[in-house]
Amino acid sequence: MENNMMPGSALSSDLQLIRGELYAMLAYRLGRKKADIAGRLNLAADLYVDSLDWVEIEIGVAETFGVELKENDVASMQTVDDLLRFLVEALDAQRFNGK
């Protein structure tokens, strides 16, 4: 994922940190190695994420990032990069709103 995909968002170092934490959380929650997680991977087709896995991911996102995933957010996410993009936008909004 290139930084230019998210203008005005987290700095490059912040993006790398968020990506690293997200990949580690996904690996843990999905029982995989961190090296198996990549941005282009489709959550359902490549990582076999099902409804129970989404519950684990929602918990992991809340615990790791303090961000709540809602059903309509999840419905629009197909790839790991989609989830990363959502997190960056949510964290930027929190920062902007002073949370």
Judge residue 43's burial from the number of C-beta atoms within 10 Å of its C-beta, 0-12 exposed, 13-18 middle, 19 or more buried. buried
> How would residue 7 be classed by pLDDT, with cut points 50, 70 and 90?
very low
Average pLDDT of the segment spanning 13-32: 96
d(CA 42, CA 46): 5
Contact in structure between 47 and 32 (CB atoms under 8 Å): yes
Question: Where residue 94 falls among pLDDT bands split at 50, 70, 90?
Answer: confident
Q: pLDDT > 90: what percent of the chain?
A: 74
pLDDT: which is higher, 2 or 68:
68
Per the CB < 8 A criterion, the answer to whether 45 and 33 are in contact is: no
Q: Is 30:47 a contact under the CB 8 Å cutoff? A: yes
